[in-house]
Amino acid sequence: MAQQQYNTIGIDIGGTNLRFALVDHLGSLIAQTKVPTPKDNEALLTLLASHARNLVLKSPISVGGIGVGWPGPVDRKLGKIIKAPNITGLEHFPLTSFLSKELGLPCFLENDAKCAALGEKAYGAAKEYKHFVLLTFGTGIGGAIYIDDNLYYGKTGGAGEIGHMTIVEDGKPCPCGNKGCFERYASSIALERLAEEKTGNKLSSQQIVEDYESGEASAANLIERFTDHVATGIASIVNVFDPEAVLLSGGLFSSPHNTLIQLIEEKIRNRCFTSFQKTLKILPSTLQGSAGIVGAATLARTESLRKS
- Print pLDDT tens along the chain (308 aa): 444 589 999 999 988 899 999 999 999 999 999 999 999 999 999 999 999 999 999 999 999 999 999 998 999 999 999 987 778 899 999 999 999 999 999 999 999 999 999 999 999 999 999 999 999 998 899 999 999 999 999 998 889 999 999 999 999 999 999 999 999 999 999 999 999 999 999 999 999 999 998 999 999 999 999 999 999 999 999 999 999 999 999 888 876 667 899 999 999 988 988 888 888 999 999 997 799 999 999 999 999 888 76
Same domain, 137 and 33: no
Q: With b meaning 16 or more CB within 10 Å and e meaning fewer, what string describes 114-138?
A: bbbbbbbbbbbbbeebebbbbbbbb
Classify residue 173 by its DSSP letter.
B
Residue 119 within any structural domain of the chain: no
Q: Are 298 and 27 in contact (CB under 8 A)?
A: yes
Instruction: For residue 17, give every residue at least 6 positions away whose Cβ sits within 8 Å of its Cβ, in sequence order, or none.
Output: 34, 35, 36, 37
pLDDT of residue 252: 85
Residue 116 within any structural domain of the chain: no
Same domain, 93 and 11: yes
181 phi and psi angles, rounded to 5 deg: -65, 150
Q: Are 78 and 108 in contact (CB under 8 A)?
A: no
Same domain, 100 and 137: no
Same domain, 280 and 300: no
Instruction: For residue 239, give every residue at least 6 positions away whose Cβ sits within 8 Å of its Cβ, in sequence order, or none.
Output: 272, 273, 276
Same domain, 8 and 135: no
Q: Are 226 and 193 in contact (CB under 8 A)?
A: no
Same domain, 60 and 84: yes
Same domain, 183 and 103: no
Same domain, 66 and 80: yes
Same domain, 31 and 99: yes
CATH number assigned to the domain comprising residue 96: 3.30.420.40
Instruction: Specify the number of domains making up the chain.
Output: 2
Q: Are 20 and 78 in contact (CB under 8 A)?
A: no
Same domain, 75 and 154: no
Residue 296's nearest CA partner among 124, 70, 77 is: 70
The C-alpha angle with vertex 284 and arms to 280 and 289, in degrees rounded to 5, equals: 150
Instruction: For residue 247, give every residue at least 6 positions away whose Cβ sits within 8 Å of its Cβ, in sequence order, or none.
Output: 117, 120, 125, 126, 132, 133, 134, 135, 283, 284, 285
Same domain, 107 and 140: no
pLDDT of residue 303: 92
User: In whole angstroms, how far apart are CA 170 and each of 22, 173, 177, 302?
Assistant: 44, 8, 12, 42
Same domain, 101 and 146: no
Residue 285's nearest CA partner among 259, 247, 256 is: 247
Q: With b meaning 16 or more CB within 10 Å and e meaning fewer, what string describes 182-208?
A: bbbbbbbbbbbbbbeeeeeeebebbeb
pLDDT of residue 248: 95
Residue 117 within any structural domain of the chain: no
pLDDT of residue 1: 46
Residue 240 within any structural domain of the chain: yes
Q: Are 145 and 158 in contact (CB under 8 A)?
A: no
Residue 120 within any structural domain of the chain: no
Q: Specify burial of residue 12 (Cβ count, 10 A radius: 0-12, 13-18, 19+).
A: buried
pLDDT of residue 2: 47
User: For residue 235, what are the domain limits?
Assistant: 125-286
Residue 78 within any structural domain of the chain: yes
Residue 34 within any structural domain of the chain: yes
Residue 179 within any structural domain of the chain: yes
